[in-house]
Amino acid sequence: MILTLEGISKRFGALTALAGLDLAVAEGEFLALLGASGSGKSTLLRIVAGFEEPDAGRVLIAGRDMAGLPPRLRPCAMMFQSYALFPHMSVHDNIAYGLRRAGQYDPRRVEELLALVGLSGLGARRPQQLSGGQQQRVALARALARRPPLLLLDEPLAALDAGLRAATGAELRRLQRETGTSFVMVTHDQQEALALADRIAILEGGRIAQIGPPQEVYARPASRFVAEFLGAANILATPAGPAALRPENIRIDPAGAWRARILARSFRGDAWALECALPDGQRLRVLRPACEPVPEEGADVTLAWEEAALVPLPA
Amino acid sequence: MIRAMAALWLALLVAAPLAVIAAISLAVPDEGLPPFRLGAPLADNEAWPLLAADGFYAAALLRSLLLAAVTAGCCLLLSYPMALGLLRLPARLRPWVVGLILLPFAIGFVLRMAAWVGLLRDSGPINAALLALGLIAEPLPLLYGWSGLFLGMVHSYLIFALLPLYAALSARDPRLEEAAADLGASPAVVFFTVTLPASAAAAGAAFLLVFIPAAGEFVVPELLGPPEALLAGRAIWLEFFQSRDWPLAAAASLALLLVLVGPILLWQRLGRAP
Amino acid sequence: MSRLILALGLLFLWAPVLLMVVFAFSDARQPFVWGGFSLRWFAALAANQRLQEAALLSVGIAAGAAALATLVGLAIGWVLARHGRFAGRPAFGVLAAAPLVLPEVVTGLGLLFLFVLMERHLGWPEGRSALTILLAHASLGAAYVAVVVQARLASLGRVLEDAAADLGAGPATVFRTITLPLLAPALAAGFALAFLLSLDDVVLASFTGGPGATTLPVLLFSQLRLGPTPEAHALATLMLAALALIGAGVLWLAGRRSGALPLLPADDPPQHGRYTGDAMLRPTCDAS
């Protein structure tokens, strides 16, 4: 394990940010920590990096207890949310900063890193002369300069335009594979987490509600919170107890068993998002491919789904 | 370590002088140097009873506050439209005009007052021009009169109101005014319903930033004001340098300070407001 | 309308100053009387040893006071911006801001009393001298520097320092390579402010200076009480010319770089651009 967290707790005044959180991250793994804002995910990164001390619990990086070690002595690197590039230094000097502190400065290594992130030839620029996407890659190169075994990324894509995010995310994934570095990424964007990570961990109430590969967490949410947070599942009351039902698993089928009325429909380009009401008043979100014909708002339809699509949840 | 050194500096050069003033205001005058004796019984203290009983000091304090209020009011009335005018200039020109505003202040305020002394004299160019035009029969008593004093005060303090107002007004969101205009407000209505309320805190802070130092002003009244205009700053100065009554000077400065505590606290609150 | 008032205000500010400049070249012995073109008052200035000594002393005191004020103001501003809450923090804040609002006569009187008592009981400082004026001016200047430094540190936030620490820099290295370079414009502005405050002060220097230490403003003030002289006009003309040259040079340089006024608290560098703006303002810890 490159990172092991044991029973991490942290309070800020009356607010509990983390409540006995346990987590283990393997070498070379890309883990996404997903949580709503205020769920303590950034606090967790700051504790691992050494900017905050936990009230209780242990942080182990590569098996070594980090207690009392300041950030500069910890073998991990952090990529900050707003990149925190030094505005008074060139891109080259930003990337060289960590190397110089360690007495490992070598201009060739900086050139190598610039090439790695596709910014060759831009070393003399100031960060503010670069686009947002380029700044993001400088921050990444700076964090990777000393080949840390573990990289902490705080919302690495949040400051980018929507159009840039997918491409930059893929780039992040490629660099993670190429360098073999373990990534722990904090995000509030479920699409980002599902697309990039080997495993995702969902934070709720200062603890990890569920952890696992994206497909598994998506398909088998362990709790109502996870089901609703990830993919906005419908929660149905069944005789066996509550169950989650994904919007895309509901069909419009004349032979269906469930009569419903379409209250609202909105076109998303690749899909239709429908808001339907069952006769008993329960609302259902339904997602249908754009190529499928969908009745007008106010139309009565019948819906159907496979029994296997229902995921039982703890009551 | 740094905190301890900074705290020591503040304790020694800011807190200690105030404490010493308070202690000396309770002392009794004495022959010799320094001309006071500490540790005398409080009943022997003459400074505070004199300050309270003699209407001279209360009147000086009141006059100072009045002068400060009129000065601050004039500065505000002049600097508000000036700041707006600055903002209406092309952005490229603004630093140069700000420089033009700063430059007369940079030569130092004693030299600026020297100009006013020469201009306002009975034989100065203002009176000479008015006499030559036949508008007056005798020179106006401009120098050593209240009008000259106000001119000099406004000239000295204008920048203290103008710069913060300009900073506050240039930091405001111009879209607010555009939105008001878009909703059908005339320029005058936009000014009174949006611009003015949005900058009220800054205007209040600018007023107090002139009022507080002006209340203790000594040099301008001394050079331009009427001799009978005994103001708080001047009274303290005279008690110290001429009467050499240190306890009375100390008590008078504490009294001035106490009167200003309210405006100072208000200024700090306004300064913190967005 | 507002531009008209701006023009009138500028006229009000400049009229006495411009008249001084014009009549500085007048041969007449009376101020503001035209007696033909002459440079006699500049010559008189050049021959006035007392004035030159006072000017030299003033510049020396201003430089020393500004340097000390910058150092101390940096420490005070640092504590205010970076030390969070500590015991005595409210009192510290009040004392840090007090010199900004205390009437000059009160500050001057208090410092003089303090120096007198210290000399009597500690034997230091010896009498009223350039040193006591310097300390008084530094005390005032440090308050202004602290305000500028605190504002700059608050707008910078801690994230750049955190990033440097994360990259392996110790506290001293973080300060030297990150904090100090980013504070440099604020420190320069604070130094200039403290320098000008010292150079312009009559009241503090009158109280804390002695017969042996007469600064230029104090000398001018005492001469002015007796009546105006054209020599002052010549001095004002020289200062105006020098300051206008410096100011125009600074503005021209600044205009080439960014268009911002260097002596006013600088805007944040454009690193907080479109991509990073909101993110920088967010608290670094999403739970706090």
Residues of chain B with Cβ-Cβ distance to C95 below 8 Å are: 10-11, 14-15
Average pLDDT estimate for B31-49: 80
Structure tokens at B270: 């306004």
Nearest to B203 by CA among B107, B82, B62: B82
What are the distances in angstroms from CA C250 to CA B60, B163, C246?
44, 19, 6
Each residue of C79-136: pLDDT tens digit? 999 998 899 999 999 999 999 888 999 999 999 999 999 998 898 888 889 999 999 9
Distance in Å, alpha carbon of C258 to nearest chain B alpha carbon: 11
What are the distances in angstroms from CA C266 to CA A84, B11, B98, C34, C276?
19, 30, 15, 44, 19
Domain A246-305, CATH:
2.40.50.140
Average pLDDT estimate for B162-187: 86
C219, C50 Cβ separation under 8 angstroms: yes
Distance in Å, alpha carbon of C165 to nearest chain A alpha carbon: 5
Between B16, B104, B110, which is nearest C202 by CB? B110
What percentage of residues in chain A have a pLDDT greater than 70? 100
Cβ <8 Å between A86 and C280:
no
Under 8 Å CB-to-CB from B237, ≥6 apart: which residues?
A: B218, B222, C105
Residue of C nearest to A187 (CA): C286
Q: Which helix (H) or strand (E) holds B29?
A: strand B28-29
Structure-derived torsion over alpha carbons of residues A108, A114, A118, A122, reported in degrees to the nearest 10: -110
> Hey, is C250 helix, strand or coil?
helix
| Mutate: best of C276, C281, C288, partner A, most A CBs <10 A | C276
Contact C270/A at CB under 8 A: yes
Average pLDDT estimate for A189-194: 90
**Segments making up each domain of chain C, as ranges:** 48-227, 236-270
Cβ <8 Å between A87 and C269:
yes
Q: In chain B, which residues fall in CATH 1.10.3720.10?
A: 55-272
Cβ <8 Å between C6 and B86:
yes
Q: Which of the 8 DSSP states describes residue B44? A: G
**Segments making up each domain of chain A, as ranges:** 3-219, 246-305
Average pLDDT estimate for C220-249: 87
CATH 1.10.1510.10 fits C48-227, yes or no: no
Cβ <8 Å between A12 and C285:
yes
Q: Computed from CA positions of residues A76, A78, A84, A89, in that sequence, does the dihedral angle turn out positive or negative?
A: positive
Note the pLDDT of residue A272: 93
Cβ <8 Å between C3 and B85:
yes
Note the pLDDT of residue B192: 86
CA distance B216 to B235: 10
- For chain C, which chains pass the contact test of at least 3 CB pairs under 8 Å? A, B
Average pLDDT estimate for C76-80: 95
Structure tokens at B133: 């035009």
Average pLDDT estimate for B173-187: 84
Contact C84/A at CB under 8 A: no
Q: Computed from CA positions of residues A228, A232, A238, A243, in that sequence, does the dihedral angle turn out positive or negative?
A: negative
C105, B237 Cβ separation under 8 angstroms: yes
Instruction: Say if residue C172's pLDDT is above 90.
Output: yes
CA distance A45 to A18: 11
CA distance B58 to B235: 11
A34, C279 Cβ separation under 8 angstroms: no
Structure tokens at A166: 């997918």
A56-61 and A30-34 beta bridge pairing:
unpaired
C166, C174 Cβ separation under 8 angstroms: no
B–A touching, 3+ CB–CB pairs within 8 Å: no
Note the pLDDT of residue B272: 60
CATH number (3.20.20.70, 3.40.50.300, 3.40.50.10800, 3.40.50.2300) of A3-219 reads 3.40.50.300
Distance in Å, alpha carbon of A203 to nearest chain C alpha carbon: 13
Each residue of A207-234: pLDDT tens digit? 999 999 999 999 999 999 999 888 888 9
Each residue of A2-46: pLDDT tens digit? 999 999 999 998 888 999 999 999 999 999 999 888 788 889 999
Cβ <8 Å between C225 and B24:
no
Q: What angle do CA A210, A216, A222 make, to 5 degrees?
A: 40
Note the pLDDT of residue C58: 95
Residues of chain C with Cβ-Cβ distance to A86 below 8 Å are: 160, 163-164, 178
Cβ <8 Å between B237 and C105:
yes
Note the pLDDT of residue A280: 86
CATH superfamily to which B55-272 belongs: MetI-like (1.10.3720.10)
Residues of chain A with Cβ-Cβ distance to C285 below 8 Å are: 12, 17, 42-43, 46, 52
Distance in Å, alpha carbon of C55 to nearest chain B alpha carbon: 12
Each residue of B183-231: pLDDT tens digit? 888 888 888 888 888 888 889 999 999 999 999 999 899 888 888 778 8
Average pLDDT estimate for A93-109: 96
Contact C202/B at CB under 8 A: yes
B270, B69 Cβ separation under 8 angstroms: no
Residue of B nearest to C110 (CA): B17
Each residue of C234-245: pLDDT tens digit? 998 998 898 889
